[in-house]
Amino acid sequence: METDFALKNLAPSWDHPFGTDWMGRDMLLRTLAGLSTSVLVGLLAAGVSSVIALVLGAAAALGGKKVDAAVTWLIDLMMGVPHIVLLILISFALGKGFWGVTIGVAVTHWPSLARVVRAEILQCKESTFVAAARKLGQSPARIAVKHMLPYVLPQFLVGLILLFPHAILHEAAITFLGFGLPPEQPAIGVILSESMGYLSAGMWWLAVFPGLALIATVLLFDVAGSNLRKLVDPHSSQE
């Protein structure tokens, strides 16, 4: 946030690896601050969204035909609406800002994971070891904790990690469009949005380095989720 107009519009150098902007602010520090904000939004939103997915997925699998039909209809409805449109509407209705974006991302990113959780619980419910546990007289609560939870947990963790890149990208996207974090807050979406007016003047570093940093962060989470999926998938865990 610190400005120094004597250092404005400097190209990348050893003193300022990402250059400086039109107010003399160091772009490396602003990019790191923006990434920390995006990661925080991603962590909160993905955590809340994964809990919603777990609750609704478990309810659909264990709550009977009517509950399953209602949850399935809600999942189809949410997946039928473009993420970015619904996210903008929710964020704008909540006054934008940090919490508007976080809540918007949280309530729009659970359907895919909920569908996975539902399928995993249904598959576990019909398995032979659960049937044997029922015949041995174990209670539904004990079966859920001892058998279903360990069965579903690996896929749930993979889905949780893979929610991060989606949450981060959507936060940056709606902030770039002006429906997210406020302009005075250092965020990747704000930095990219402001840099658009200076690209024609040759200040390419204002957009290139923050954009590459955002891509690198998203790819890092994506690779982590993909590697974790290989570890927990019994068909590829020995590769």
Position 85 in a domain: yes
Position 9 in a domain: no
Position 53 in a domain: yes
Position 15 in a domain: no
Cα radius of gyration (the chain): 22
**What is the chain's mean pLDDT, rounded?**
81
Confidence category of residue 232, pLDDT binned at 50, 70, 90: low
CB 41 within 8 A of CB 98: yes
| Total tally of structural domains belonging to the chain | 1
Position 21 in a domain: no
- Whether pLDDT at 234 is above 70: no
- Whether pLDDT at 210 is above 80: yes
Position 93 in a domain: yes
- No. of helices (H) and no. of strands (E), the chain: 10, 0
Q: Which pLDDT value is given to residue 14?
A: 83
Position 238 in a domain: no
CB 111 within 8 A of CB 198: no
Q: Which pLDDT value is given to residue 5?
A: 66
The whole-angstrom separation of Cα 193 and Cα 165 is: 20
Residues 36-88: tens digit of each pLDDT: 888 888 889 888 998 898 888 888 877 778 888 888 898 888 888 887 888 88
Residues 80-111: tens digit of each pLDDT: 888 788 888 888 888 888 888 888 888 888 88
Q: Which pLDDT value is given to residue 225?
A: 75
Q: Which pLDDT value is given to residue 113?
A: 86
Confidence category of residue 185, pLDDT binned at 50, 70, 90: confident
Position 1 in a domain: no
Range of the domain at 44: 27-232
The whole-angstrom separation of Cα 78 and Cα 66 is: 18
Percentage with pLDDT > 90 across the chain: 0
* Residues 108-123 as b or e (16 or more Cβ within 10 Å = b): bbbbbbbbbbbebbee
- CATH at 126: 1.10.3720.10
